[in-house]
Every structure is written in C-alpha cells, then in structure tokens.
Structure 1
C-alpha cells in the first residue's frame, strides 16, 4: 500500500474513532445522570461527589456548563467527520487528541459509577493532562485554521473543557481527601482551601499566558469559582473566607484575558 493510501486510511480511522469516542462519552453521561434508574453521579461514592462533599465543591448550577461542553464536542465530532475535513492538517494534529479527551471524560463517569473515589481522581488527572496537551496543540499549531467554525469547535470548546476540568480536578481531589484525612484537619479547612485556590489562580493565569490570553478557559474557571463561592456562602459546609477567596480568584483569572482581548479589539497589534 502506498503512502497516500495509508494516509487516507488513517484519516478515515481518525474520523471513526472521534465519532466512537463521543458516542461512548454520551452513553456514559446518560448513565451518570441516572437516566436508567441508577443513582446520579452526585449520589455515588457515598455522596462524596455532591456539593457538600468538600469545602471546594461548587454549587449544583455550576455543572450546567457540561451542556455547553457536550454540545460543542458533539458538534465537533459531526463537523470533523465531513469529507472536507478528512485530510485537514488541523484535524490530523488534533482529532486523536480530542478523541482521547472524550474517552477519558466518559471513563471518569464509569469510574464514578463502578470504581473507587481514588480512581476518579486518577482519571480526572489524566483528563486534565490530556486537555492541557490538546489545548496547547490547538492554540500553537501552525496549520491554517478553518475560519470561525474551526476556532469555536476546536479552540473554544477545548478551552471551556480545560477550564472547567481544572476546577473539577480540585473539587474531585478535595472530595477524596475529605474521606481519608483525620477529622481534626477540618479545623484548618479555611487555610487549606485558600491556599489551594491561590494555586488555582496561578494555574489559570498560566493557562491564559501560555495560550496567548485565550478567553474560554478563564470563563469556565471563573464560572466554577463563582459557584464554589455561592456554595460556601449558602450551602454546607459553609466558609466565608473560602467563598471570598473564590470570588477574588475568579476575578484574577478572568480579568487579564478580558483586558487583553478588549485591547486587541481596540488595537489589533497588541500581543
């Protein structure tokens, strides 16, 4: 088989794998939502993944961002399967990576349903790493972009996914640690929570800087942090210091990319 034929076969295989990955992710999401009579994700693992599972869990409405992320990933899977996208250099660079993130997304739901809480931490850490890698390739690749659709379904959707999973990894890890650390550690919960949120701020700023101040990761991260603050002010366990810190971190993460992008609109030469 010649090289051109091998490349065509690889392109078709990539498109099929992406469609298979999004199908797996959606099936896992439906099961995770409790659609078939099983308990929903927040009720699994003894309720550790619920909004009261730790001091760093966001309020329930925060998770509505998954609807946007899933819609974007479904749209991407359909778009990349078009014949016009089969030999796209961007798809060749990113299709397999996006498929990996969707597969890990679904595997997290499987781990939450059938595995242990520690296993969910392992899977979400792998998902975060895969998303960071995918987003880095997406914003740094030199292959020509396919216009607005390309930018939205690859850069923007991956950015939202990355931003949200950054905070979800923190919440997931905090939920696991809450179940294994001594009860006395709760006395230091405010200090620990504030320290973790400062690290989140640094991570959010690093993502923005390394991606030339892309906005979508910051939007997703600030969204989650805002709902984390709401839960700490109004839910259980309550913590005004963590709530205030979460709001400050949300602003710290969001404002720099907003300012840079506004300046770019005013002065297109701004880097």
Structure 2
C-alpha cells in the first residue's frame, strides 16, 4: 500500500531536517578545530597562554592550572571528532537522542571556537562572556541528554562522555577565566596581599558547584573527572611554581577529592541509579 502524500511529505521534511543537523554538527566541529589551530599558533595566531598580556597563562593567578592540565583539550577534541563522524552515519540520522542533542552540541562547538577567537582578537571581558555562555550551553546539553537515555556504550562515551568532560573542564575554566580578568583589569594592586584567602574562598565555591553538579547529573563521572583534573593541576602549579601558594594548592587537592567522592557517592545512590543513562 502506497504512503499517503502527507506521510511522504513529512518523511522528506524529516530527512532534510536530520541531514541539516548532521551537516551542522560537522561544520561546527570543523570551525572549532580551525579556531583551536589559530589558538595554538599553528595558523599564524599567538598561543593562548601568550595572549592578553599573559593573563591566561598558568602563572597569571593562584587559580590558574599548570600547563599540562590543558592536555585535556586533546581528549575533548578527539571525542568531538569521533562523535561528529558517528552522528553522521545513516543509522544515527533519525535517532531521537541525536535529534534532541545534535543542535546543542553543534552550538557548544561554535561557542568553544568563539572563546578561542575572542581571546585571540578581542579582550578579557569578551572571553569571560564567551566562556559563561559556553558553560550555560553545555549545562543545557547535558540536561537534554538526561531526558533521553542512552541505549549503547558508544552512546554513553561519545555523547554523555564528550559533553560531560567538556562541561566539567569549562566549569573550572570559567572560574580561572574570571579570576584572570579580575586580577588583570579590575583588582587593585593590593589584591596580591589577599590572593590566598580569595583563592581558598573561590575553591570552596568550586567544591559546592562540583557537589551540586554531581547531584543534578546523578553522579556522572566525566564532569567530575574533568573538574578534578584541573583542580589537581592548580594544586601542582601552586605548590611547585609561581605564584606559589601552599594554602591554595592544598585546598585545590582537597576540593579535587571532594568532587570525585561526591560523584561516586551520588552514582551509587538511588538517585544515581534513577538518573544516569543506561
């Protein structure tokens, strides 16, 4: 029996919409990777750590992670590439989870690249705005994923894992970015006398954010791992490099442990079993 004209029309519309989404994700990821190449200086730009008078480097503030911490971007970018290829497969085209999250993930890729371009060509205020918008978009993306359960291990790794790592790292990077802006352009010269106290206070807030994130996401491990990774490297930077601050460094190590323990505790709780993707 032939399909009705209305059914055929809806099928064509759905196919076009799905194809546009898939192409949009591919385009957004390519833009993000191109911006990353500019941000590392490979396309003639200046490396991010040397921009804005060095305000974004590992020795700029007491809340800046040591340089090896930024190696997590390699993992996030590789996962994004893998996700982009996977979501473009014909078998993924009409899946409801892809339809729900694809546009959001494309938006986060564009915003990621936008932050890199803002740091390269604009100013610290622009980077703060860009990273806050990126953080909000990542949170919204993870919320969308929470409403549509995963149905395979690949789903969990390439959707939940990619977005989770991205969200966890950007959560911490937002704190570091705002601190860099305040230190470079807002805080008075006397700020240095209070940087230990301020750094510890901010890390306490980070701990609360990490615990809240664990609770809201049902104990997802990827965001906690990314946050803890950055916190550990803040601790390393403060205890082995400049500006030296043993109190901030020790606090960063403690907060890293708190974030991980909170995620594991929620994951094995009834809430984690009900919220987490299966």
Alignment TM class, shorter chain as reference = over 0.9
Matched, 1:162 2:167: yes
Q: Deviations over 1:59-94 (max 9, x none)?
A: 000000011100001100110000111111001100
Which of 165, 176, 180 in structure 2 is aligned with 1:171? Answer: 176
Conserved in 1, the CA contact under 8 Å of 2:164 and 2:223? Answer: yes
Aligned-pair distance for 1:262?
6.1
Q: Structure 1 residues 122, 269: closer, same or farther in 2, change over 3 A? A: closer
Question: Which has the higher mean CA deviation after the structures are superposed, 217-226 or 254-263?
Answer: 254-263
Q: Distance in 2 between matches of 1:30 and 1:56?
A: 25
CA RMSD between the two structures: 1.8
**Mind listing any 5+ residue stretches in structure 2 that lack a counterpart?**
1-5
Conserved in 1, the CA contact under 8 Å of 2:218 and 2:266? Answer: no
Q: Distance in 1 between matches of 2:134 and 2:78?
A: 18
Match of 2:83 in 1: 76
Conserved in 1, the CA contact under 8 Å of 2:217 and 2:275? Answer: no
Question: Which has the higher mean CA deviation after the structures are superposed, 31-40 or 230-239?
Answer: 31-40
Aligned-pair distance for 1:123?
0.2
Which of 188, 204, 208 in structure 2 is aligned with 1:202? Answer: 208
Match of 2:123 in 1: 116
SS in 2 for 1:161: helix
SS in 1 for 2:232: helix
Aligned-pair distance for 1:229?
0.5
Q: Structure 1 residues 149, 233: closer, same or farther in 2, change over 3 A? A: same
Aligned-pair distance for 1:204?
0.7
SS in 1 for 2:43: coil
Q: Distance in 2 between matches of 1:270 and 1:91?
A: 19
Q: Distance in 2 between matches of 1:185 and 1:33?
A: 30
Q: Distance in 2 between matches of 1:269 and 1:137?
A: 16
Matched, 1:30 2:37: yes
Map 1:1-271 → 2, pairs under 5 A: 2-138=9-145, 140-142=146-148, 144-180=149-185, 181-261=187-267
Q: Distance in 1 between matches of 2:18 and 2:204?
A: 43
Aligned-pair distance for 1:263?
7.4
Conserved in 1, the CA contact under 8 Å of 2:218 and 2:275? Answer: no
Q: Distance in 1 between matches of 2:65 and 2:226?
A: 12
Aligned-pair distance for 1:185?
1.6
Q: Give the number of the structure whose alpha-carbon radius of gyration is greater.
A: 2
Aligned-pair distance for 1:257?
2.0
Q: Distance in 2 between matches of 1:171 and 1:211?
A: 23
TM-score, normalised to structure 1, is: 0.94
Q: Structure 1 residues 259, 5: closer, same or farther in 2, change over 3 A? A: same
Q: Deviations over 1:84-136 (max 9, x none)?
A: 11111001100000000000000011001111111001000000110111111
Aligned-pair distance for 1:36?
2.9
Conserved in 2, the CA contact under 8 Å of 1:263 and 1:270? Answer: no
TM-score, normalised to structure 2, is: 0.91
